[in-house]
Amino acid sequence: CLCFFFFFQAEDGIRDPLWSRGLGDVYKRQVSTQSTWGFYFRMEKATDVLETSELADILNAKQKNVRIIDAAMFPPNDPRKGSEEYLKGHITGAMFFDLAKVVDASIPYPQMVPPNEVFIENAKKMKIRKTDLIVCYDHLGNLGGPRLWFLFKLFGAKNVKLLNGGLLKWKAEGRAMEAGDKPTEVSTLDPDTSDGYAYSKDTNQIVDLKYVYSIVPSLIAKSKDIFFVDARLPEKFNGTAPETKPGLRSGHIPGSINIPYKEIYTANALLKTKEEIKELFKSKGVDITKKVIASCHTGVTSCSVLFALYQIGVTQFFLYDGAWSEYGSKPEPNWEAVKAQCKLLTNYTEICLLYTSDAADEGLGVDLGGRRSINKQR
């Protein structure tokens, strides 16, 4: 019989078969040990959290090659503007990174991860090399800072830190601040090297809408192999607070789990302890030893989820950057029809969900953009 199955290509050309299920069966996945997916480091003993006292010591010691980056941004219902608040006051020596402008402008959704050339151009303008100590913070302690941390990590920076508590804590402690658009030079820089600005986006850390569509049946079936975390506030996740953008539905991706980003922090916007973070994910039913994808409204607050996972040693985490802004702008696919098309290939070592590129014509309600293939080896 003719079989059609989901699969994606890893950058090294190894096929990474995705989630599959027969009727009544749970999706399964066999991950290649050669897969390029995920941050494959163990981080139990390392941390990207930098305390305010540590940053003060770094500045007092006049450590070389330090770049302090202000990523001020505010929620949509907050009238303040990041660029204006930066001018009013920031950590002495900090430069402003405009997350709203360093984006992929070719995609019609906000805050999309920029292409290499856009990120490199901005890094060169700000003289931020991938070998520098890059300290990220924002004015709320848990919004723009984690997003900027993720971006620099994604593009290959070697030493990126997130200032715990951000400007709120720094200011409350009475530490050095300044105003205006000409920050004080607080750290001397070594001469540029040939690879200083050789940033390159790790596209394996980002999943797209096709990928999300491919795993939703697995999420609905409550598979224990993959978890999709939505970092929005409960009222947005549950659909009780209407979306204000025209054409954007209320609700959430089927099978996703709500972990509001604010629950990762204390009331003072400090990152919770590793034990508290582990317990938080456990209490929500997320197995952190499995693959975890984070999303939110525009791909910003989900970076707090990713940052928390990174601190507790998780090695497989990914960002759905289009987030609800993309998913919620499209009609919900007919997942019952998708389930009816699934077949269980019991004679395969790797079990794949089958589909065709003309799925929309078969009444599934969405064009999954698939391809036909025959596994000749098997």
Structure tokens given for 157: 């920076």
| The pLDDT of residue 315 | 76
Q: What is the dihedral sign for C-alpha 199, 149, 97, 319?
A: positive
Angstrom distance (rounded) from CA 304 to CA 334:
31
Convert the pLDDT of each residue in 351-378 to its tens digit.
334 333 333 334 444 444 333 333 333 3
Q: What is the dihedral sign for C-alpha 349, 229, 204, 306?
A: negative
Torsion of CA 143, 311, 157, 185, to 10 degrees: 60
| The pLDDT of residue 341 | 65
Convert the pLDDT of each residue in 212-266 to its tens digit.
999 999 999 998 899 999 999 999 999 999 998 899 999 999 999 999 999 999 9
Length of the chain: 378
Chain-wide mean pLDDT for the chain?
Answer: 82
Structure tokens given for 357: 């590129």
How far does CA 344 lie from the centroid of its chain?
A: 32
Q: What value does the mean pLDDT take over residues 121-127? A: 97
pTM for the full model?
0.81
**Scanning the structure block, which residue is given the tokens 């305010």?**
52
Report the first-to-last Cα separation within the chain, whole angstroms.
13
Taking residue 87's Cβ as centre, other Cβ atoms within 10 Å add up to 14
| The pLDDT of residue 353 | 43
Least confident range of 3-7, 67-71, 72-76, 149-153: 3-7
